[in-house]
Amino acid sequence: MKTVQVRVKPGSKKGQMVQAALDGSLLVYLREPAVDGQANAALIKILAEHFGVSKSQVRIVQGRTSRTKVVEVN
């Protein structure tokens, strides 16, 4: 089990991408807006692809309504 700190940029024009930040966290750009959990669902999907696991193995532990999140990957 791995815990990762993530900073999310919803509604980004850059498209969906994952970058490593200088502080060791991940910076994730998402096209989806932060409305009705759309950005959280997109975050789980892109992190699952990034780590090569299924979506059910990625879980938001902290920060469901914040742009800074703690995510657990099994």
Distance between CA 64 and CA 74 in Å, rounded? 18
Checking if the pLDDT of 54 tops 90, the result is yes
Helices (H) and strands (E) in the chain, counts: 1, 5
Give the chain's domains with CATH numbers. Answer: 2-63 (3.30.1200.10)
- The arithmetic mean of pLDDT across residues 35-46, rounded, is 95
Rounded mean pLDDT, 36-50:
95
pLDDT at residue 12, rounded to an integer: 92
The residue whose two tokens read 């696991």 is 53
**Given pLDDT bands bounded at 50, 70 and 90, which one contains residue 24?**
confident
pLDDT value of residue 21: 86
The pTM (predicted TM-score) of the whole model is 0.91
28 in Cβ contact with 47 (< 8 Å): yes
SS3 41: helix
Q: Is 45 in contact with 55 (CB distance < 8 Å)?
A: yes
* Residue 14 pLDDT exceeds 90: no
